[in-house]
Copies of this chain bind each other. A is one copy, B any other.
Amino acid sequence: MADQPMPHIDQMLCFAVYAAGHAFTRFYKPRLDALDLTYPQYLVFLVLWERDDITVKALGDKLFLDSGTITPLIKRLEARGLVQRRRDEDDERQVRIRLTSEGRALEAKALAIPLAVVEGTGLSLQGAEALRRELLALRARLDGVEER
């Protein structure tokens, strides 16, 4: 029973992921302050700049977040005039999110951010490719094990 002692926190993969996530948030903070966006808000815009007029559901699927997180976040962006929310005409259960012209214009300002990340960390998209793939595979495994 006591064969397996409690592992130390420094040896645990989950903690390494947790700490790296916080570090990324802190790292982005000063850059995102220039756009007056939080990190999760920035992620939402990355999706919208890529695919505008998306439902809350589809956005949640993309970001692996639920509506309880996304709804208030989007409402704050709507209050600032960066996005619009409206019910889908065909299926009124769905709410579609669209960029306003102000929200679309943010993209130009945001272009400096990924450049700053590459410069600041020495991480190129290709250089971190293997790490990224492993993390996505890990996420899929963690979320997929639910049904057992």
Contacts and interface: CB of A to CB of B under 8 A. Distances in A.
A26 interface: yes
Given A46-B6, A49-B6, A111-B4, A17 B17 contact: yes
A8 interface: yes
A7 B114 contact: yes
Interface residues of A, number: 57
B18 A142 contact: no
A4 B12 CA distance: 36
Q: Report the copy number of this chain in the oligomer.
A: 2
Contacts of A136: 16, 19-20
Interface of A: 1, 4, 6-9, 11-24, 26-28, 39, 43, 46-47, 49-50, 62-65, 107, 110-111, 114-115, 117, 120-123, 125, 128, 131-132, 134-136, 138-139, 141-143, 145, 148
